[in-house]
């Protein structure tokens, strides 16, 4: 049984997430082949160079008597940056610190008025300045408020408050100094109120409560105060230290008071300073692919100053800041701490919540980005290519039923992809079905997404949320038998996937006629066989379309397709009604004058 792998005595070995058995073997001076054998004995078939899951690494470690410590992406990133002499936690000499605006996130139960409140704050930009107020949604904005005779700035994270956006919200609290907890006075404390409260507490962020909708006759703001005492938020007027402010976001009542309360709370409980010199560091709040402008990311600077022309890396994306715009679409030349700006010039779309930093030169940021990408690929490969163990295969065979739904998620922005993923994992999934997201990303569905899906041992569906595949990519998907589904509304995607999980619904297709043509002449060619000279009788004839051939009303050939199509001497992709064309059929040569060719395509039937 012994396969010659060394046995440890509890020594700790450090492995990065997504390591392979070869990497493991290196650390313990073993032959990779012997580890493959050990894994086989444990019931899992993996190759030496394939990147494996955390579980596999831990299992093998335990089996061989080593304590495996898997290095988290954060630790690994620190190590990576250290190679470039970058230390994110470095202390900065205090004389270079400046005070900075607090960063505020609005949270609360759905329909309690988060969006309205964000709108109201935007409009109530109290210092008369921008006529018409803030004009663009870039993910965050800054407002100015007179406070004790001084003009004070406040940065507000402007993410929509949909239930599916929990992931963003959870991250929102990490860049956030203060949470404004919105509670509708006519509804009181609700489940997501508590959830938001817990996020804020976990992140150790002070809370200001906005008791909203006090304009409603049934509003009971005191009840909200009383309810929240149970959760440790005691209003100042009850002897506690949390500020509660009555507001009505819709008519815009109490907004100034709320912003005052935010500043008072910030001043009382926070040391809001940040270094203003040095290369910028911060967080990407929102990012998407813009048709004209390429990758666009809104970043919140947390330390240092970001300038146009800086080389930056955000997550796995890098580039040089081509331009920076503020929430009014105006160019900004530099952005200091707590300033949100929209950055143009990245080569790819970072994820929401990814950290960014400016570095000395293009080369450094490119290398950091490339190493991060390589690591992410390894990690997602490890999770996507988890081969079933022998034991589970056997179980599957016994049950004959076990199945999984494998997805690739692509969307127009990192926020929406995360929201979708997050909502999917909250679905109530039947035990016999497994949901696996093998890849996620921002942007159009690409050839590499399709190849990833088709390389998988199980069927994979690609979900396009507000993004599409080009015709070329669609053709490859057809050829590889990879299903692509498009959605524009999150809940619809979730509903269908939920239905698919419950029943693993097979898509239903129906035939849709594209057009028909009559054969008027037949030309014989020694090279390509018989060419049918046709006139298109209805619709269009498309190259590669599925077709059948009718002779005197009966189907003579089924399951053929239009393999070539010409208008005169030129190749055509489609020929319309009333025009003549020459065509050949795949797998069928016996065409005759008078035959009718019908073409059609299979379209997925919308479900009721």
d(CA 262, CA 151): 14
Among 35, 249, 272, 280, binds ligand GDP (CB under 6 A): 249
Residue with smaller CB distance to ligand GDP, 111 or 267: 111
Among 67, 75, 130, 215, binds ligand GDP (CB under 6 A): 215
Q: Nearest approach, Cβ of 231 to ligand GDP (angstroms)?
A: 19
Q: Is 213 in the site for ligand GDP (CB under 6 A)?
A: yes
Q: Is 216 in the site for ligand GDP (CB under 6 A)?
A: yes
Q: Is 78 in the site for ligand GDP (CB under 6 A)?
A: no
Residue with smaller CB distance to ligand GDP, 28 or 190: 190
What backbone torsions phi and psi does residue 384 show, to the nearest 5 degrees? -80, -30
Report H helices in 337-389.
362-384
Among 116, 199, 372, 440, binds ligand GDP (CB under 6 A): 116
Please answer whether residues 39 and 30 qualify as being in contact, where contact means their C-beta atoms are separated by less than 8 angstroms.
no
Residue with smaller CB distance to ligand GDP, 109 or 225: 109
Among 250, 293, 376, 377, binds ligand GDP (CB under 6 A): 250
Residue with smaller CB distance to ligand GDP, 115 or 373: 115
Among 212, 242, 302, 311, binds ligand GDP (CB under 6 A): 212
Residue with smaller CB distance to ligand GDP, 182 or 460: 182
Contacting range for ligand GDP; rule: CB under 6 A; set: 29-37, 69-77, 114-122, 536-544: 114-122
Of 594, 523, 599, the closest CA to residue 558 belongs to 599
Contacting range for ligand GDP; rule: CB under 6 A; set: 13-21, 103-111, 350-358, 377-385: 103-111
Among 17, 112, 199, 372, binds ligand GDP (CB under 6 A): 112
Instruction: Say which residue the tokens 């715009």 belong to.
Output: 325
Footprint (CB under 6 A) of ligand GDP, residues 268-307 = none
Footprint (CB under 6 A) of ligand GDP, residues 145-164 = 161
Contacting range for ligand GDP; rule: CB under 6 A; set: 110-118, 168-176, 329-337, 470-478: 110-118
Residue with smaller CB distance to ligand GDP, 254 or 351: 254
Contacting range for ligand GDP; rule: CB under 6 A; set: 91-99, 213-221, 271-279, 408-416: 213-221
Contacting range for ligand GDP; rule: CB under 6 A; set: 45-53, 111-119, 265-273, 410-418: 111-119
- Residue 526: CB partners within 8 Å, gap ≥ 6? none
Q: Nearest approach, Cβ of 425 to ligand GDP (angstroms)?
A: 22
Half-sphere exposure of 502 (CA within 13 A, CB side): 7
Residue with smaller CB distance to ligand GDP, 109 or 548: 109
Q: Nearest approach, Cβ of 233 to ligand GDP (angstroms)?
A: 19
Among 180, 248, 420, 572, binds ligand GDP (CB under 6 A): 248
Contacting range for ligand GDP; rule: CB under 6 A; set: 38-46, 113-121, 124-132, 383-391: 113-121
Q: Nearest approach, Cβ of 212 to ligand GDP (angstroms)?
A: 5
Q: Is 110 in the site for ligand GDP (CB under 6 A)?
A: yes
Q: Nearest approach, Cβ of 230 to ligand GDP (angstroms)?
A: 22
Q: Strands 529-542 and 574-576, how do they pair?
A: antiparallel
Q: Is 113 in the site for ligand GDP (CB under 6 A)?
A: yes
Residue with smaller CB distance to ligand GDP, 248 or 300: 248
Residue with smaller CB distance to ligand GDP, 180 or 346: 180
Structure tokens at 15: 């492995």
Residue with smaller CB distance to ligand GDP, 112 or 410: 112
- Residue 145: CB partners within 8 Å, gap ≥ 6? 126, 127, 151, 152, 153, 154, 256, 259, 260, 263
Residue 255, SS3 per DSSP: helix
Among 37, 50, 69, 115, binds ligand GDP (CB under 6 A): 115
Q: Is 111 in the site for ligand GDP (CB under 6 A)?
A: yes
Residue with smaller CB distance to ligand GDP, 212 or 242: 212
Buried b (16+ CB within 10 A) or exposed e, 54-85: bebbbbbbeebebebebeeeeebbeebbeebe
What is the Cα 301 distance to its own chain's centre?
22
d(CA 542, CA 191): 55
d(CA 463, CA 445): 9
Of 496, 424, 440, the closest CA to residue 166 belongs to 424
Please answer whether residues 301 and 338 qualify as being in contact, where contact means their C-beta atoms are separated by less than 8 angstroms.
yes
d(CA 342, CA 248): 30
Please answer whether residues 581 and 536 qualify as being in contact, where contact means their C-beta atoms are separated by less than 8 angstroms.
yes
Footprint (CB under 6 A) of ligand GDP, residues 161-190 = 161
- Number of shown-chain residues binding ligand GDP (CB under 6 A): 16
Q: Nearest approach, Cβ of 249 to ligand GDP (angstroms)?
A: 4
Footprint (CB under 6 A) of ligand GDP, residues 56-75 = none
296 CB burial (10 A radius; 0-12, 13-18, 19+): buried
Residue with smaller CB distance to ligand GDP, 249 or 519: 249
Instruction: Say which residue the tokens 């703001």 belong to.
Output: 221
E strand map for 370-455: 403-411, 433-442
d(CA 77, CA 81): 6
Please answer whether residues 306 and 356 qualify as being in contact, where contact means their C-beta atoms are separated by less than 8 angstroms.
no
1 CB burial (10 A radius; 0-12, 13-18, 19+): exposed
Buried b (16+ CB within 10 A) or exposed e, 408-424: bbbbbbbbbbbbbbbbb
- Residue 544: CB partners within 8 Å, gap ≥ 6? 561, 562, 563
Q: Looking at the DSSP assignment, which residues form a beta bridge with residue 599? A: 515, 547
Residue with smaller CB distance to ligand GDP, 173 or 583: 173
Structure tokens at 463: 């979900």
Residue with smaller CB distance to ligand GDP, 156 or 306: 156
Please answer whether residues 28 and 14 qualify as being in contact, where contact means their C-beta atoms are separated by less than 8 angstroms.
no
Residue with smaller CB distance to ligand GDP, 219 or 445: 219
Binding site for ligand GDP (CB under 6 A): 108, 110-116, 161, 212-213, 215-216, 248-250
């Amino acid at each position: 049984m012994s396969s010659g792998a060394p046995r440890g005595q509890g020594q700790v070995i450090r492995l990065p997430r997504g390591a392979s058995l070869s990497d493991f073997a290196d650390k313990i001076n073993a032959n990779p082949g012997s580890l493959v054998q050990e894994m086989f004995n444990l019931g899992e078939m993996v190759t030496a160079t394939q990147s494996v899951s955390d579980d596999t690494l831990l299992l093998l470690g335990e089996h061989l008597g080593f304590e495996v410590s898997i290095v988290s992406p954060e630790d690994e990133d620190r190590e990576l940056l250290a190679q470039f002499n970058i230390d994110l936690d470095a202390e900065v000499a205090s004389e270079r610190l400046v005070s900075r605006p607090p960063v505020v996130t609005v949270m609360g139960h759905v329909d309690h008025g988060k969006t309205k409140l964000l709108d109201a704050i935007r409009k109530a930009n109290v210092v008369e300045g921008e006529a018409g107020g803030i004009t663009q949604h870039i993910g965050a904005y800054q407002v100015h408020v007179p406070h004790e005779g001084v003009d004070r700035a406040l940065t507000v994270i402007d993410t929509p408050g949909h239930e599916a956006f929990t992931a963003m919200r959870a991250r929102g609290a990490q860049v956030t100094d203060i949470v404004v907890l919105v509670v509708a006075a006519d509804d009181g404390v609700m489940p997501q109120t508590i959830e938001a409260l817990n996020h804020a507490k976990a992140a150790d962020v002070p809370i200001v409560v906005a008791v909203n909708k006090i304009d409603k006759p049934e509003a009971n703001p005191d009840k909200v105060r009383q309810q929240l005492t149970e959760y440790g938020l005691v209003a100042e007027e009850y002897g506690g230290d949390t500020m509660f402010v009555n507001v009505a976001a819709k008519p815009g009542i109490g907004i100034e008071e709320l912003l005052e309360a935010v500043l008072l709370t910030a001043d009382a409980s926070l040391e809001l300073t940040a270094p203003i010199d040095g290369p910028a560091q911060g967080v990407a709040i929102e990012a998407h692919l813009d048709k004209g402008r390429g990758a666009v990311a809104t970043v919140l600077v947390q330390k240092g100053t970001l300038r146009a022309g800086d080389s930056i890396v955000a997550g796995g994306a890098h580039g040089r800041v081509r331009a920076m715009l503020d929430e009014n679409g105006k160019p900004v030349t530099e952005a200091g701490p707590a300033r949100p700006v929209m950055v143009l010039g990245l080569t790819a779309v970072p994820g929401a919540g990814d950290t960014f930093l400016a570095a000395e030169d293009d080369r450094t940021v490119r290398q950091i980005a490339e190493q991060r990408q390589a690591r992410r690929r390894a990690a997602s490969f490890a999770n996507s290519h988890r081969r079933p163990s022998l034991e589970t295969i056997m179980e599957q065979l016994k049950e004959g039923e076990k199945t999984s739904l494998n997805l690739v998620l692509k969307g127009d922005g990192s926020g929406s992809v995360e929201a979708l993923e997050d909502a999917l994992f909250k679905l109530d999934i039947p035990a016999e079905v497994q949901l696996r997201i093998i890849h996620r990303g921002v942007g159009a569905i690409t050839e590499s997404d399709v190849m990833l899906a088709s390389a998988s041992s199980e069927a994979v569906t690609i979900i396009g949320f507000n993004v599409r595949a080009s015709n070329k990519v669609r053709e490859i998907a057809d050829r590889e038998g990879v299903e692509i589904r498009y959605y524009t509304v999150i809940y619809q995607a979730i509903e269908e996937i939920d239905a698919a999980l419950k029943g693993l619904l097979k898509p239903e297709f129906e035939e849709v006629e594209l057009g028909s043509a009559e054969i008027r002449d037949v030309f014989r060619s020694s090279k390509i066989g018989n060419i049918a000279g046709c006139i298109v009788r209805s619709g269009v004839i498309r190259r590669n379309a599925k077709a059948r051939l009718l002779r005197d009303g009966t189907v003579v050939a089924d399951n053929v397709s239009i393999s070539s199509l010409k208008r005169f001497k030129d190749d055509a992709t489609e020929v319309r009604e009333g025009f003549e064309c020459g065509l050949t059929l795949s797998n069928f040569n016996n065409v005759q004058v008078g035959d009718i060719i019908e073409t059609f395509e299979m379209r997925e039937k919308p479900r009721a």
